[in-house]
Structure 1
Amino acid sequence: MTTEQQDRTAVAPHGFNISVTSGFERYSAQHGELTLTSVFQPVFSLSHMRAIGYEGLLRAHDALDRPVPPLDVFGEAARIGEALQVDRLAQALHLENFKLLGAEREWLFLNVHPGTLIEPYHTAALLANLVRLDLPPRRIVLEVLEDPATDFDALAQAVASFRERGFLVALDDFGAGHVDIGRVWQLNPDIVKLDRILLLHAAHRADMAATLPALVALLHEAGKLVLVEGVETEQEAQLALSCNADFVQGFFFARPAPGLTDAALARSVIAEATERFRSQAEERERGTANRLAPYVRAFERAAERLAAGEPLEEVCWNFLGLTHAARCFLLDANGRQAGRNIVLRVDRAQHDARFLPLDDAQGANWLRRPYFRSAVAVPGHVHVTAPYLSINEALPCVTLSMAVHVGERLCVLCGDIDWIFDEVV
């Protein structure tokens, strides 16, 4: 051990030791027969292409230097009634080791048992450690872990108090267990971490992959930044990019380590993934345009004939003859449907049988729908919606719409296309 390391050991916090592992100095502590220390997993901003924070993770070894899973450490602590003590010890270790990292502006993501936030003694210890280490609260992201036994009202009050002190708060494991949108509204975190289970479902189900961007958009509307955790594969990285997440974390980008991440390597990994996303997105857009082209041509012709005075029942047949065309219908200038849906295929009527209460749409008002608003805003052009859920059959569809004058009346011609989800990226 060098003189410098001996000096560092002499001033180490009570109960902690300092060692050098893989070239990195870090503190460790004893808990029974276990040796505990920290590693840090980077959290990356996809837009900035760099680490904007590090999550402190516990590592444990037994007396024979065999690794012990952190879940076992905390599980045993909970069994014997020492959960908060071990939680506080882990936090202290992470703070000490984060200070050793020399990170100048990045956040420290600190997993915190809800009881620690509620219990004044543990809160005071956390605040005292920050003062001693000269780490302002704004550098700390408190990751609130789920514990069904916690007094949730007390937890919400504690979270609000910590945010007032300047801490950021992250809600962990969204989409797993009891952590849902209700928890977001109740705790009002700054960051929501999407659990890896959502990625796993999205990687194997196209409908889930299509839902993920809407979920992120909902959280953004609620004023929350979104972190996708557990990204381990290229496919999952593409899902994180496509859903417009703000931050990512996982083995694909960087594994937990004692020190700071390799900035150049991380930037290269994110840049390559982003370039693949751009290429795949452009390919999908070309495919969508090609797929829609015959429907748009047939729909434009139908609108021309309608404007020339031909009846709706006659102008839509070419459009409805295309494979995935579902129906045509006509709206007045106020969004009210004039007449029934025009449907060509017999099997369509049979398929609709379960939704018979919705079959008669005459007089329905579609003023709220984007296809109506877009059409009346820019008449004479075909407008194409993003895929959405059709009320007619609770199936995904795309609607084409065009505002045309039929005599003196402004009308909006609409045509629905069944939209089978594309393959998952």
Structure 2
Amino acid sequence: MTTEQQDRPAAAPHGLDLSVTSGLTRYSAQHGGLTLTSVFQPVFSLSHMRAVGYEGLLRAHDALDRNVSAADVFGGAARVGEALQVDRLTQALHLENFALLGAEREWLFLNVHPGTLIESYNTAALLANLRRLNIAPRRVVLEVLEEEGTDLEALAHAIDAFRARGFLVALDDFGAGNLDIGRVWQLNPDIVKLDRIMLLHAQQRADRAATLPALVALLHDAGKLVLIEGVETEHEAQLALACNADFVQGQFFARPAPGLADAAHAQAVIADATERFRQQTETRERGTTNRLAPYLRAFERAAERLSAGEPLEEVCWNFLALDHAARCYLLDANGRQAGRNVVLRVDRAERDARFLPLEDAQGASWLRRPYFRAALVAPGHAHVTGPYLSINEALPCVTISIAVQVGERMGVLCGDVDWHEGEEAVG
């Protein structure tokens, strides 16, 4: 505890009681026959390997000292029209207890009802508490959960006003209901919290696990930091690391507690998980390299023969004879396809009739494709894409490409390789 905190008057704010339990000084409050108090769950930066914030969580006990869930507390308050009153009381409780923590730089993640942000009376109460406790707005992350019937336009305007005062804003429970990226654009939060349900989905199906990094990348492109909450297992921690999340929160790293996180323990947990991630990544990359080696050798030989003047249909035979090779095609210097796809395997000729309109790619422009641009940057060197969805059959593939001299002009030879579910990723 800092000297400033020790010098604060012992008198509790109106409605709050100060007590010492297990050596910790904490505020509590009474409401509806329940005793309410705070615990704090750390928010960790995976890169910094330490807590960068604490989310205030409500704990409630009845007269017989039985636990009452926060959902029941707020649900009961909503039924009798006291949702905002309990929201204000909870905020005051978390602010008082956060001030006692002794955290010097970390954020306080504070859950707020949308009405607290929209209505001026509630806003004034929050700001007054911060001034009294000498907590700068820049240290508070307002966690907003969209409620049914919320005026989104008014909420977006309020969020802008709070951000202008120095607050950070987080959109809570993203993905728990409908995954609406439009809400991110409309409310423009600084941080998006992915709900635990996203991790559960990612564990059930490989395609969903592959989507999670893309979702994080999309949010990053939109200028949002990403926090994954509810990380409870080693596997879920590895998913969070793999998808490049900025922050994590969950029992795997630290349980909610009245005091600060054990910094040494947290650093050790994150460091161990990161080391396992490194080992797994290197093993996966070695497997990918070994898997692609025969395709690369055959493809590089095909490029040499093509540059020497042999026809495309003949040079691709060895490449297309490999198990998962799908097709070869040649692009000109402007990304236009010269001729049809070369497909030599019988099962490729009998393709899914639903995609028949895409069969003839002669003259198609693949200028936008990364494999075309990457090949032109380093002529003569093979480039391999990461897995992506092929337009030919709407199935995952990787593409090998090499820019070669074909006669008097530069061309880009391309070859697609099917990339089935469960195969190693390609970097």
TM-score range, shorter chain: over 0.9
Give the aligned partner of residue 215 of structure 2. Answer: 215
Pick closer, same or farther for the CA change 1:407–1:105 going to 2, 3 Å: same
Pick closer, same or farther for the CA change 1:326–1:179 going to 2, 3 Å: closer
TM-score scaled by length of structure 1: 0.96
Corresponding letter in the other structure for 2:68: V
3-state SS of 2:405 partner = strand
Corresponding letter in the other structure for 1:25: T
- For residues 402 and 91 of structure 1, the distance between their equivalents in structure 2, rounded to whole angstroms, comes to 60
- For residues 104 and 213 of structure 2, the distance between their equivalents in structure 1, rounded to whole angstroms, comes to 33
Give the Å deviation of 1:106: 0.3
Which deviates the most, 299-308 or 93-102?
299-308
- For residues 267 and 417 of structure 1, the distance between their equivalents in structure 2, rounded to whole angstroms, comes to 41
Give the aligned partner of residue 225 of structure 1. Answer: 225
Once the two structures are superposed, the pairs formed by residues 122-161 of structure 1 within 5 Å of their partners are: 122-161=122-161
- For residues 25 and 185 of structure 1, the distance between their equivalents in structure 2, rounded to whole angstroms, comes to 41
Which deviates the most, 19-28 or 153-162?
19-28
Give the Å deviation of 1:375: 0.8
3-state SS of 1:351 partner = coil
Give the Å deviation of 1:258: 0.2
Moved over 3 A (4+): 7-10
Give the aligned partner of residue 83 of structure 2. Answer: 83
3-state SS of 2:274 partner = helix
- For residues 299 and 21 of structure 2, the distance between their equivalents in structure 1, rounded to whole angstroms, comes to 68
Once the two structures are superposed, the pairs formed by residues 91-110 of structure 1 within 5 Å of their partners are: 91-110=91-110
- For residues 423 and 9 of structure 1, the distance between their equivalents in structure 2, rounded to whole angstroms, comes to 63
Give the Å deviation of 1:423: 6.5
Give the Å deviation of 1:10: 5.1
Q: Which runs of 5+ in 1 are unaligned?
A: 1-6
Give the Å deviation of 1:180: 2.3
Give the aligned partner of residue 340 of structure 1. Answer: 340
- For residues 366 and 424 of structure 1, the distance between their equivalents in structure 2, rounded to whole angstroms, comes to 26
Give the aligned partner of residue 299 of structure 2. Answer: 299
Is structure 2 residue 370 aligned with structure 1 residue 331? Answer: no
Give the Å deviation of 1:349: 2.9
Give the Å deviation of 1:424: 9.6
Give the Å deviation of 1:50: 0.4
Give the aligned partner of residue 255 of structure 1. Answer: 255
Judge conservation of contact 1:28–1:93 (CA < 8 Å) in 2: yes
- For residues 256 and 424 of structure 1, the distance between their equivalents in structure 2, rounded to whole angstroms, comes to 37
Give the aligned partner of residue 270 of structure 1. Answer: 270
Corresponding letter in the other structure for 2:382: V
Corresponding letter in the other structure for 1:394: A
Corresponding letter in the other structure for 1:324: H
Give the aligned partner of residue 373 of structure 2. Answer: 373
3-state SS of 2:350 partner = helix
Give the aligned partner of residue 26 of structure 2. Answer: 26
Give the Å deviation of 1:407: 1.6
Give the Å deviation of 1:354: 1.2
- For residues 367 and 8 of structure 2, the distance between their equivalents in structure 1, rounded to whole angstroms, comes to 70
Over aligned residues, Cα RMSD in angstroms? Answer: 1.4
Give the aligned partner of residue 118 of structure 1. Answer: 118
Deviations 1:36-56 (A, max 9, x none): 000000000011100000000
Deviations 1:389-411 (A, max 9, x none): 11111111100000111221211
3-state SS of 2:148 partner = coil
Judge conservation of contact 2:284–2:424 (CA < 8 Å) in 1: no
Give the Å deviation of 1:347: 1.8
Corresponding letter in the other structure for 1:255: R
Deviations 1:342-364 (A, max 9, x none): 11222223333211111100000
- For residues 345 and 370 of structure 1, the distance between their equivalents in structure 2, rounded to whole angstroms, comes to 26
3-state SS of 1:379 partner = coil
Deviations 1:265-309 (A, max 9, x none): 000000000000000000010010001001001101111111111
- For residues 202 and 423 of structure 2, the distance between their equivalents in structure 1, rounded to whole angstroms, comes to 11
3-state SS of 1:88 partner = helix
3-state SS of 2:231 partner = coil
Pick closer, same or farther for the CA change 1:423–1:142 going to 2, 3 Å: farther
Q: Which runs of 5+ in 2 are unaligned?
A: 1-6
Judge conservation of contact 1:206–1:423 (CA < 8 Å) in 2: no
- For residues 123 and 423 of structure 2, the distance between their equivalents in structure 1, rounded to whole angstroms, comes to 49
Give the aligned partner of residue 280 of structure 2. Answer: 280
Give the aligned partner of residue 63 of structure 1. Answer: 63
Deviations 1:98-145 (A, max 9, x none): 001010010000000101111111111100100110001001000001
Corresponding letter in the other structure for 1:296: L
- For residues 410 and 22 of structure 1, the distance between their equivalents in structure 2, rounded to whole angstroms, comes to 76
Give the aligned partner of residue 289 of structure 2. Answer: 289
Judge conservation of contact 1:173–1:179 (CA < 8 Å) in 2: no
Judge conservation of contact 1:101–1:260 (CA < 8 Å) in 2: yes
Judge conservation of contact 1:206–1:424 (CA < 8 Å) in 2: no
